[in-house]
Amino acid sequence: MSGHGDGKDAGRQVSWIESAASHFVVVLAVAFALYPVLWVIALAFSGTSTPEARVLPIPREPTFDHLWAVVSTTREVGESTQWLFGRQLANSLIVSISTALVGIGIAIPAAYALARFDFVGKERGLRVLLATQMFPAVAAAIPLYLMLDALGLLNSRTGLVLCYATTAVPFAIFQLRAAFESIPVDLEEAAMVDGATRLQAFVKVVLPAARPAIAVTALFAFMSAYNEFILAATLLGKEDMFTLPVVLQRFIGEYDAQWEAFAAGALIVSLPVMVLFYVLQRNLVAGLTAGGVKG
């Protein structure tokens, strides 16, 4: 957005007018992007019961009650009390991480094969993969429900991971194929001449070189699973198996909307994603620009 940190501006004195102007633009853009988020934050910490339209998103009668109420939900299981929210958070994280791992685990070898080898049916296979991307996963909700029912995987994390990974794999393959294609073949060949087997060359040279792209692809898979609602709501019927989007939706009932609880829940749900983005930010930038510049 601004010229700062951009290599081409290095060594040039930036005048204070330029600096102020670029900061102003950045602040404006950030404010524009964050305004709705600030509203959610204000709502989550407000003590009043109904949201009202105001210009400044400042909480009325600030309180942590809503956050605490969302986090501390429990349920009775026989004699003992179970921390329900903890279990639901765990459901979301386990399902999303597993989706990312399974998706990436399948997509990496597939994408590498598509990037490096010629084989019968390659082009046709790619077209079929592309075709699967034209339909939303929801379109398959009913068949998936019936299949998982037959397999006894309804109301299970495994079932959900299977469904999510299925939809994550084609996109991951396309993403990673482009990343592998941008890595010069010379690198693998150099490794093989240096004494590596093809597998060693792949593991020791190609995978590290593709790490940013793999991180981004994994993050996309994680995010799509973490945010998914419709399949989760369809395939999960028991409260203790819910993922967080399903939990959130429960705050908005047919006759009663708990907006503060919803906002508090939304904030909590966002935290893991924010942490993940923060940790992966370096890879994200490199991964999103991968392929633009040949190595």
Q: Which residues bind other proteins (CB under 8 A)?
A: 184, 186-187, 189-197, 200, 204-205, 208-209, 211, 295
| Shortest distance in whole angstroms from residue 10 CB to other proteins | 15
- Find the shortest distance in angstroms from Cβ 205 to other proteins: 6
Residue nearer to other proteins on the CB measure, 108 or 231: 108
Among candidates 260, 269, 275, which has minimal Cα distance to 41?
260
**DSSP label at residue 202:** I
**Helix/strand/coil for 257:** strand
Nearer CB in complex with other proteins: 182/227: 182
What the block records as the tokens of 180 is: 């592998």
Q: Which is nearer to other proteins, 72 or 197 (CB)?
A: 197
Which residues touch 28 (CB under 8 Å, ≥6 apart)?
A: none
Question: Looking at beta carbons, which pairs linking 226-230 to residues 24 or more positions away fall under 8 Å?
Answer: 226/92, 226/96, 226/272, 226/273, 228/137, 228/164, 230/137, 230/138, 230/141
Q: Which is nearer to other proteins, 40 or 192 (CB)?
A: 192
Closest distance to other proteins from the beta carbon of 290 (Å): 12
Three-class DSSP category at 81: strand
Q: Report, in Å, the least distance between residue 106 CB and other proteins.
A: 24
Spatial distance between the Cα atoms of 64 and 279, rounded to a whole number of angstroms: 27
Q: What one-character-per-residue DSSP string does 108-175 give? A: HHHHHHHHH---TTHHHHHHHHHHHTTS-GGGGHHHHHHHHHHHT-TTSHHHHHHHHHHHHHHHHHHH
Closest to other proteins by CB, 138 vs 190, is 190
Nearer of residues 94 and 207 to other proteins, judged by Cβ: 207
Instruction: List all residues 6 or more positions away from 258 whose beta carbon is below 8 Å from its beta carbon.
Output: 251, 252
Shortest distance in whole angstroms from residue 173 CB to other proteins: 23
* Strand partners for 80: 77
Choice between 188 and 228, CB closer to other proteins: 188
CB of 48 to other proteins, least distance (A): 54
CB of 34 to other proteins, least distance (A): 34
